Structure 1
Amino acid sequence: MTTTDPQRFTVLLVPEHVEGKGGATVEDSAVRSAVVEATGETGASGYPRYAGNGIEADIDPRTRTVEALLVDGKELVYGLTAKVGS
């Protein structure tokens, strides 16, 4: 992580079947959200690790893409997508 990388993100867990449907925003469609903060570590994916509120995520700070994710210590349930909120 470089010093210019964001220190915090909001991670949104969104059901794939409702994402972007009916004009709802990603934030409105989320079934769970969490503010995650930089841990200073690099995850197995090679991207900076962020953690908070039961969520650990490796996030590419340039593209704001979640590259790896654990929710309450487990892999993401099938049918959910992790997004970085605006």
Structure 2
Amino acid sequence: MSTVPKRFEILLVPEHVEDRGDASVRDSAIRSAVVELTGEMGASGYPRYAGHGIVADIDPATRTVEALLVDGSELDYGLTALVWDLSRG
């Protein structure tokens, strides 16, 4: 039986970056937030995580963001939400 991670870091990164140079995807994020498991299931059917103005339903098996609100609004076009598993370093 697998356990659901208690927290993740969400990285909001531009979908298209001309040249990141030596910057990592993590360094290219325009916003990041650590989100904690709320104990609720989201409308998507996946566990809900929240923190620092971000509410996300995350599939813990694939680390995919299934639903996302940033400061109460949907994600702006041109941005992608990536999940960083804090338990893996």
- Percent identical pairs in the alignment equals 74
**Greater shift after overlay, 74-83 or 22-31?**
22-31
Query: Which residue does the alignment assign to 2:10?
Result: 11
The offset of 1:22, in angstroms, is 4.0
Deviations, residues 30-71 of structure 1 (Å, cap 9, x unaligned) = 000000000000101110000000000000111111110000
Query: Which residue does the alignment assign to 2:63?
Result: 64
Query: Which residue does the alignment assign to 1:81?
Result: 80
Q: TM-score, normalised by structure 2?
A: 0.86
Count matched residues: 85
More helix by share: 1
- The RMSD of aligned alpha carbons is 2.0
Mark the CA change 1:23 to 1:45 in structure 2 (over 3 Å): closer, same or farther.
farther
Mark the CA change 1:60 to 1:20 in structure 2 (over 3 Å): closer, same or farther.
farther
The offset of 1:21, in angstroms, is 4.7
Q: Is the 8 A contact 1:26 1:85 kept in 2?
A: no
Q: In the alignment, residue 5 of structure 2 is paired with which amino acid? A: P
Query: Which residue does the alignment assign to 1:48?
Result: 47
